[in-house]
Homo-oligomer: A and B are copies of this chain.
Amino acid sequence: MPTNTKILLKTQCVGLPKESDFEEAKEIAQNPKEGQIRCESLYLSLDPYLRGKISGRHISGAILPGDTMTGEAISRVQVSSDPKFKEGDLVIAHSGWQSHPVIDVAVATKVADREIPVSTYLGIMGMPGLTAYAGLLRLAEPKENDIVLVSAASGAVGSMVGQIAKIKNCHVVGIAGSDEKCEWVKNVAAMDNCINYKSQDLSEKIKEYCSNGIDVYFDNVGADTLQAAMEQLAPYARVVLCGLMAQYNSNSMPAGPNPAWIIKSRATVKGMVVYDHEDLREQFMNDVSQWIKDERIHYLEDVTEGLNKAPKAFTRLMQGLNHGKTIVKIND
């Protein structure tokens, strides 16, 4: 029997997560019961919302000290106790930070072969991609020539939002945290402009690049970035609140923008939770796989090798030091 290596949360993080907040454990891999499959994990997705779960503040529930870290992963079936899955099938599931998970087939999805790299099913073809697709197209309803502003524009969600908005013929301005990220946003993801919020005056640059105001703001950050955007909304703007990168590491809840900004612009502000949009998944996967093949969508993966490096990769992600979708490669 193979050994299952797991990464557990050791202590509830305070502020930025540290590698020492996690610990490794090993056990004999279990055999699957009826309706289960045992897999070997290939790629693990790391996402900022996990920090919210560690604080007990995420809609999908808490991760407590002693728990195996959760997270979405691609894995390959080794032993199946269900007729619908066979050895060698690739599946995607929230199987967590472990090398040989046993997964209930009810919560596993087979990965169809669409001739694109399987790791994309954790990024642009997966949850972050669906978040961007549904959040932008269903909640913000962009129209041609709309001015779309997106924060964390080189990140897993933000880069998709910006590129889908370009496909829909919007004028797109990104916000990112380094010149290198901004270069990628402009030159590879082909957004029209990108603001480095760490070295430039965010409000001034929004004024320059969105001189008629922001029609759509897709927020992955919160805090000062959200405030700066809310002050420059165009009439009838649509704002999608999706991520809270600026406060995931904090135990306090900072205040938000004054409601006057919403009234003044007659804006519509919507909260985005990806679980509400499963009905769009098929359409989303068809659209995005086609866009990838047509080279209309580019993506960037920040890949770390080895499950034991997952804590380090997570601390980098939560400091914004990643560049693109954060993935841990566990096996080939």
Chain A contact residues, CB within 8 Å of chain B: 57, 59, 219, 222, 226, 241-242, 244, 247, 253-260, 262-273, 276
Knowing A263-B241, A263-B273, A268-B268 are in contact, say whether A256-B253 is a contact too (CB < 8 A): no
User: Are B258 and A254 neighbours in the complex by a CB distance under 8 Å?
Assistant: yes
Number of chain copies forming the complex: 2
Chain B residue contacts of A264, Cβ below 8 A: 59, 271
User: Are B271 and A263 neighbours in the complex by a CB distance under 8 Å?
Assistant: yes
Determine the residue in chain B with the shortest Cβ distance to A233.
B271
Chain B residue contacts of A268, Cβ below 8 A: 268-271
**Min C-beta distance of A20 to chain B, whole Å:** 27
| Residue of A222, A242, A260 with most partner-chain B CB within 10 A | A260
Knowing A226-B259, A257-B256 are in contact, say whether A272-B266 is a contact too (CB < 8 A): yes
Which residue of B59, B265, B272 contacts A271 across the interface (Cβ within 8 Å)? B265
Task: State the 6 A-B residue pairs at the shortest beta-carbon distance, nearest first.
Answer: A255-B255, A263-B271, A262-B271, A269-B269, A256-B256, A253-B258
User: Are A269 and B258 neighbours in the complex by a CB distance under 8 Å?
Assistant: no
| Residue of A242, A266, A273 with most partner-chain B CB within 10 A | A266
Chain B residue contacts of A267, Cβ below 8 A: 270-271
Chain B residue contacts of A244, Cβ below 8 A: 259-260, 263
User: Are B266 and A271 neighbours in the complex by a CB distance under 8 Å?
Assistant: yes
Chain B residue contacts of A269, Cβ below 8 A: 262, 268-270
